[in-house]
């Protein structure tokens, strides 16, 4: 390393010609956010697995800003990591970051949110469609095969779209269940307002499906404040601790589809390690979610 300090000009030339030679070996991970329990568990699982496998792992947080994610990936490329793991801020816009990694010859693994327009080495994610179907089946079972259902969605996120599609698909075989409202509620505050509005507009609603824990927990609060605890049942998706506790204690929350961020994070790191070792990895690695109901 000393000769580099003595010859910075040479270093610059080397860097220029090699474009991104490997100084820092290992995995660079660019995650969507660190303000959501799912991503905290995912990041913790990745760090634990990286430690267990003895591979260097650096984590950047995009804070839901695609431009920051692109900058984070650019910085990984300059650093010369071997593999980049991305949980995309936006399934389509992430194409720019993947193209840059491709151009630098660095393989990309996506986790949780898939890339829509770009090809990656492997994708590890919850089978959201199957999860949505399970939510729909649970809803039909809870409502005894008939009723009016509302959905809180987040239409710009592909994984949520798949959940809602699966949910609707499952309800198709129950003709006496009618979907009367579908509104967007991304944050818990928005979801609360949306649930209240939907209950106001359709007082005969008997079931609400929230695309995520936040949406479902907000819906449960709205049901309570409307005094409809005996009438409305809520099902969520994600299955973090808070929602599981709610399912255990709050009769309105009848169930939650449970994702497995630990398994996802572990699989992502194992896949990245295999990629570094030059092994073949499957292009799709779906993680089927479970159904969590009161014990």
Partner 1 sequence: MTQTTDNTPRAGRQQLVVALHQYGGILVSLVLLCVIFTLLNERFMTVANLTNILQQVAVVAIAAFGMTWVILLGEIDLSIGSIIAVAGMAGAQALAFGVGFVPALLFTLAAGALMGLINGVLTAKLALPSFIVTVATMGIYRGFVSLPTNGAPAMISDASWTAIGSDRLAGIPIIIWIVGVLFIFNHVLLSRTTFGRRTYLTGGNREAALYSGIKVDRLKIAIFTLSGVMAAISGILLSSRLYSAQTNAGMSYELDAIAAAVLGGTSLAGGVGTMVGTLIGALIIGVMNNGMNMLSVPYFYQLIVKGLVILVAVWLDVRAKRRQG
Is 108 one of the binding residues for partner 1 (CB under 8 A)? no
Task: Out of 7, 19, 200, 282, point to the residue binding partner 1 (CB under 8 A).
Answer: 19
Among 211, 215, 160, 226, smallest CA distance to 192 is for 215
Q: Please, what is the minimum distance in Å from the beta carbon of residue 114 to partner 1?
A: 15
Among 209, 291, 216, smallest CA distance to 258 is for 291
Q: Binding pattern to partner 1, positions 223-252, x when CB under 8 A?
A: ------------------------------
Q: Please, what is the minimum distance in Å from the beta carbon of residue 175 to partner 1?
A: 29
Taking CA atoms, 222 is separated from 36, 191, 253, in Å, by 22, 9, 12
* Residue 253 Cα to chain centre, angstroms: 22
Is 93 one of the binding residues for partner 1 (CB under 8 A)? yes
Is 4 one of the binding residues for partner 1 (CB under 8 A)? yes
Is 277 one of the binding residues for partner 1 (CB under 8 A)? no
Is 48 one of the binding residues for partner 1 (CB under 8 A)? no
DSSP string, 181-224: EEEE--SHHHHHHHHHHHHHH-TT--EEEESSHHHHHHHHHHHH
Token output for 185: 């509620």
Distance between CA atoms of residues 101 and 83, nearest Å: 9
Is 66 one of the binding residues for partner 1 (CB under 8 A)? yes
Task: Choose the binding region for partner 1 from 19-27, 45-53, 191-199, 244-252 (rule: CB under 8 A).
Answer: 19-27
Contacts with partner 1 in 172-201 (CB under 8 A)? 184
Residue 67 C-beta-side C-alpha neighbours within 13 Å: 0
Taking CA atoms, 101 is separated from 94, 96, 127, 225, in Å, by 11, 9, 26, 50
Q: Please, what is the minimum distance in Å from the beta carbon of residue 241 to partner 1?
A: 21
Token output for 17: 């010609």
Residue with tokens 């949306």: 194
Is 60 one of the binding residues for partner 1 (CB under 8 A)? yes
Q: Please, what is the minimum distance in Å from the beta carbon of residue 121 to partner 1?
A: 20
Kindly list the residues in this chain that would bind partner 1 in the complex (CB under 8 A).
Answer: 1, 4, 8, 11-12, 15-16, 19-20, 23-24, 34, 58-61, 63-67, 70-72, 74-75, 78-80, 90, 92-93, 95-96, 99-100, 117, 155-156, 184
């Amino acid at each position: 390393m000393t000769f580099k300090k003595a010859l910075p000009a040479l270093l610059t030339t080397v860097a220029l010609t090699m474009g991104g030679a490997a100084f820092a070996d290992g995995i660079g991970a660019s995650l969507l956010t660190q303000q959501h329990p799912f991503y905290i568990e995912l990041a913790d699982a990745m760090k634990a697995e990286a430690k267990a496998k003895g591979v260097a792992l650096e984590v950047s947080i995009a804070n839901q800003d695609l431009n920051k994610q692109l900058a984070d990936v650019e910085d990984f490329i300059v650093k010369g990591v071997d593999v980049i793991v991305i949980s995309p801020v936006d399934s389509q816009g992430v194409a720019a970051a993947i193209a840059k990694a491709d151009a630098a010859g660095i393989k990309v693994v996506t986790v949780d949110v898939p890339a829509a327009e770009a090809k990656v080495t492997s994708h590890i994610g919850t089978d959201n469609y199957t999860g949505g179907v399970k939510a729909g089946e649970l809803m039909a079972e809870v409502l005894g095969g008939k009723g009016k259902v509302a959905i809180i969605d987040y239409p710009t996120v592909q994984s949520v779209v798949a959940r809602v599609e699966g949910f609707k698909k499952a309800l198709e075989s129950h003709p006496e269940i009618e979907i009367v409202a579908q509104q967007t509620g991304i944050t818990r505050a928005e979801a609360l307002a949306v649930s209240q509005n939907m209950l106001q507009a359709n007082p005969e609603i008997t079931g609400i499906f929230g695309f995520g824990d936040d949406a479902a927990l907000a819906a449960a609060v709205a049901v309570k404040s409307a005094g409809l605890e005996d009438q409305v049942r809520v099902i969520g998706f994600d299955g973090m601790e808070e929602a599981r506790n709610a399912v255990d204690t709050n009769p309105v929350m009848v169930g939650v589809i449970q994702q497995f961020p630990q398994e996802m994070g572990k699989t992502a790191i194992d896949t990245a390690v295999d990629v570094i070792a030059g092994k073949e990895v499957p292009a799709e690695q779906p993680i089927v979610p479970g159904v969590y109901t009161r014990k």
